[in-house]
Each structure stands twice: as C-alpha cells, then as structure tokens.
C-alpha cells in the first residue's frame, strides 16, 4: 500500500503594518473604489523595514509546529516556496532550518511564483510518498512588496506580504487511505512568460527588478487554466465538484475566485476568500487562506480541500487534500483498521 502525506497542521504570519486602499491612494493615482471593484482588495500587510521573507516564514512555521506539538528536530524536509528570497543564495529554507533547529534533513526553495505553494506541496508530497522524508514543513513566504514598482498603479495595488505553512507527515503503509494529499497536478507554459515577469535578476540585470504584467491576458489565462486543472484534479480521483468541502484558491483577484466557484457550482460558503484583507501574497496566499479557515473552525479534520493557483511562467497547479488525521473511530471499521497512523508527536 502506498504511503500518504497527511496534512496535520497549518500556520501563518502577517506583518504588522496594514496599508489600506485609502493610504495607497496617497502614494499613487488610484482609489479605494477602483481597487475594490476590480480586485476585491481593501487592504494589504507590508513587511517592515528590515523584515525579511525568512522572518515571516519562520513565524508561520513556528505557528504550524505549535499546532502539531512538534519541534524543529522532528522535521526532516523543509520546502519554502518564494519569489522573494532573502538573498540570491543560499535558499531561504536554510534560514528557516537554522532558526528551528531542524537539522535532520534537507531544506531548499522552490520558485513557481504565485503557484509556488502548490508546487512545494507537490514536491514534499512526492518526497514523503517515496519514503525520502517523513515529516515535511511546506511554507509559502513572500515580501512581494520589494518587487513592486510603486509608481505603477496597475500592479502595486494588487500585492501584499505574508507567509503560510503546513506540516505533512507520512503514514506507514496504507494507513490513512483516502486522507492527506490525494493528488497534485502541475503545469507550466514558458511561452507566456511575457505577460507576467520581473524585469531583472542576477543573470540579466544583476538587480532585482520589478513586476511587469499584462493584467487582462493574465486574467484570461487564469480562468481557463485553473478551470482545466480543477477538472483534471477531480477526474484523477473520481470526484465531483460537489464532493469538495472547501475551495482554497490563490487570492489574486476576487473575480477570478468567483469565476472558479461559479464554474464548480460551489456556494460562496464553501470558498475561502481572504484577498480583501491580504491582497495577493503570491506563494503565501493559499496557505494563509487555509490557516485562517482552519483556525476559525471552518476547515475541519476530514474535509476535502481543493487548492489551486496560477502565476508567472506561466505556472499553475492544483491539489486535492483530505485535511487532518483520521480519528481512531474512523479507522475502527475500515479495512486498514489494524495499521497504525504515525503518531503526531
Ligand atoms: N487605479 C485606478 N485606475 C487604474 C489602476 C489603479 N490602480 N490600474 C489601472 N487603472 C486604469 C487603467 O489605466 C485603465 O485606464 P484607461 O481605461 O483610461 O486606459 C483602466 O483602469 C482599466 O485598466 P485595465 O487594466 O483594463 O483594468 P482591468 O479591468 O483589466 O483590471 C486587473 C486590471 C485588476 C489587473 C485585472 O486585469 C486582473 O486582475 N488581472 C489578473 C492579473 C492578476 O491577478 N495578477 C496577479 C499576479 S498573477 C496571479 O497571481 C494570477
């Protein structure tokens, strides 16, 4: 029987500083009305001077470890999804590793921009399924504000900073069948590079550069590509949209989120939306939204989650997850009753 990656805990962190649309309107020629109508955003958190992506990531990670009752030494894989690493190298994940004292395995970053968390989840899930690690910390963390051209109103109003994390623990043998990460589905298309990119980097300009975007084109691709990867995920598991308890979408634009929910015929109560308060936090957006819904009691153990995201590359993907840890009662009558779920602590 195949190993499974149970999603046993979540965590998040948002920088203290909140910038409202009104405040932003004093920096660039925009308005609260324009931003809210076009995107659903009302405010964003921005990292303070000297506050780094790793600082956000470490706080989100500690938050998740606390939920699970785990220590850094219990972790043998750290994957950080980020487009805004502290430095060109080493990986931001190694800073997280050091802060947590998690030296029993590997730590590295993945870069898939706004789809980064779904990519990192897929990477960690495959490590766990292959038996190469047992307990993984998967983090999406960004100080995306550092990539923005604060004179370009068409992009700077859209983004915010933050971090979210999940803990995955592999089961032994077939325990937890139907639980944890059911499947992940990744895609990219480098032909669409020019509709969303940063005009700089170590090998081109040697500077960091700024976000450049053709918003209408990104919007169009987002709706069609996310629709198709959602269908792909459900089909792969023989599930229907109605089986999904929670859609946890990338928070780029309220209109894209609503389009996905409508297509799946999911009522608004089954869609986790945080864009109004967080804006688009790139790789952090999905785990931030998830953690919020776990902590306020919406997402419960046993719920079926559909995570999806798209961003620069283009890169996009989705994952289906049955959240939490199977309870003893759930296992009593099942065919896997005699197999033990890996203890959480
Ligand atoms: N405030 C006021 N006016 C603005 C602003 C602003 N911040 N930005 C642009 N405008 C103006 C434009 O200049 C334009 O004016 P004009 O008609 O006089 O030329 C007008 O508003 C309309 O601009 P459009 O770009 O056509 O507006 P659109 O309805 O396409 O909305 C938006 C723009 C919100 C960016 C939308 O295209 C979108 O959300 N696209 C998806 C892109 C996205 O989500 N990117 C995030 C990163 S990728 C990802 O995470 C998926």
Ligand 1, atom nearest to 309 Cα: 51
* C-beta of 39 in contact with ligand 1 (< 6 A): yes
Residue located nearest, by CA, to atom 11 of ligand 1: 154
Residue that terminates a domain, selected from 147, 173, 199: 173
Q: For residues 321 and 193, state if they share a domain.
A: yes
HSE toward the beta carbon, residue 89, CA cutoff 13 A: 4
Instruction: Please tell me the distance between residue 207's alpha carbon and the centre of ligand 1 in angstroms.
Output: 26
Tell me whether residue 47 is in a domain: yes
**Residue of 45, 221, 250, 278 marked catalytic:** 250
* C-beta of 25 in contact with ligand 1 (< 6 A): no
Is 114 catalytic? The answer is yes
Tell me whether residue 133 is in a domain: yes
Q: For residues 201 and 169, state if they share a domain.
A: no
Quick one: tokens of 228? Answer: 């198709």
Tell me whether residue 273 is in a domain: yes
Q: For residues 233 and 154, state if they share a domain.
A: no
Tell me whether residue 254 is in a domain: yes
Residue that terminates a domain, selected from 173, 196, 219: 173
Alpha carbon distance 306, 320 (integer Å): 5
Q: Which domain holds residue 166?
A: 4-173
Is 185 catalytic? The answer is no
Tell me whether residue 345 is in a domain: no
Tell me whether residue 80 is in a domain: yes
Q: For residues 46 and 19, state if they share a domain.
A: yes
**Residue of 21, 45, 63, 114 marked catalytic:** 114
Count structural domains, the chain: 2
pLDDT of residue 29: 97
Tell me whether residue 30 is in a domain: yes
Q: For residues 152 and 19, state if they share a domain.
A: yes
Instruction: Please tell me the distance between residue 220's alpha carbon and the centre of ligand 1 in angstroms.
Output: 12
pLDDT digit string (tens) for the chain, length 345 residues? 689 999 999 999 999 999 999 999 999 999 999 999 999 999 999 999 999 999 999 999 999 999 999 999 999 999 999 999 999 999 999 999 999 999 999 999 999 999 999 999 999 999 999 999 999 999 999 999 999 999 999 999 999 999 999 999 999 765 678 999 999 999 999 999 999 999 999 999 999 999 999 999 999 999 999 999 999 999 999 999 999 999 999 999 999 999 999 999 999 999 999 999 999 999 999 999 999 999 999 999 999 999 999 999 999 999 999 999 987 545 444 434 333 344 443
Ligand 1, atom nearest to 38 Cα: 34
Q: For residues 169 and 186, state if they share a domain.
A: no
Ligand 1, atom nearest to 222 Cα: 51
HSE toward the beta carbon, residue 285, CA cutoff 13 A: 36
HSE toward the beta carbon, residue 184, CA cutoff 13 A: 23
Quick one: tokens of 7? Answer: 């999603």
Domain at 78, CATH number: 3.40.47.10
């Amino acid at each position: 029987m195949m190993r499974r990656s149970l999603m046993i805990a979540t965590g998040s962190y948002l920088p203290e500083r909140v910038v409202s649309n009104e405040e932003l309107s004093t920096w660039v020629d925009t308005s609260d009305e324009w931003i809210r109508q076009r995107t659903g955003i009302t405010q964003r958190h921005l990292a303070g001077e000297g506050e780094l992506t790793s600082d956000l990531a470490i706080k989100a990670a500690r938050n998740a470890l606390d939920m699970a009752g785990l220590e850094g030494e219990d972790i043998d894989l750290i994957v950080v999804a980020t487009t805004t690493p502290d430095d060109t190298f080493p990986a931001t994940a190694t800073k997280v590793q050091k802060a947590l004292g998690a030296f029993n395995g590997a730590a590295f970053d993945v870069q898939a921009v706004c789809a980064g968390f779904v990519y990192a989840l897929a990477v960690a899930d495959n490590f766990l399924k292959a038996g190469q690690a047992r307990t993984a910390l998967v983090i999406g963390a960004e100080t995306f504000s550092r990539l923005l051209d604060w004179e370009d109103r068409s992009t700077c109003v859209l983004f915010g900073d933050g971090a979210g994390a999940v803990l995955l623990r592999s089961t032994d043998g077939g325990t937890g069948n139907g639980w944890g990460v059911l499947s992940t589905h990744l895609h990219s298309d480098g032909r669409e590079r020019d509709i969303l990119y940063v005009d700089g980097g170590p090998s081109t300009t040697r500077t960091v550069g700024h976000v450049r975007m053709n918003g209408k084109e990104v919007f169009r691709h987002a709706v069609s590509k996310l629709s198709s990867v959602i269908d792909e995920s459900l089909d792969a598991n023989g599930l229907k949209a109605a089986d999904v308890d929670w859609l946890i979408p990338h928070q780029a634009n309220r209109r894209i989120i609503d389009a996905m929910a409508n297509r799946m015929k999911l009522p608004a109560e089954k869609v986790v939306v945080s864009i109004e308060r967080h804006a688009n936090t790139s790789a952090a957006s999905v785990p931030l939204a998830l953690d919020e819904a776990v902590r306020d009691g919406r997402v419960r153990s046993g719920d079926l989650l559909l995570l999806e995201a798209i961003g620069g590359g283009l890169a996009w993907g989705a994952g289906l997850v049955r959240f939490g840890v199977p309870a003893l009662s759930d296992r009593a009558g099942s065919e896997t009753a005699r197999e033990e779920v890996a203890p959480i602590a």
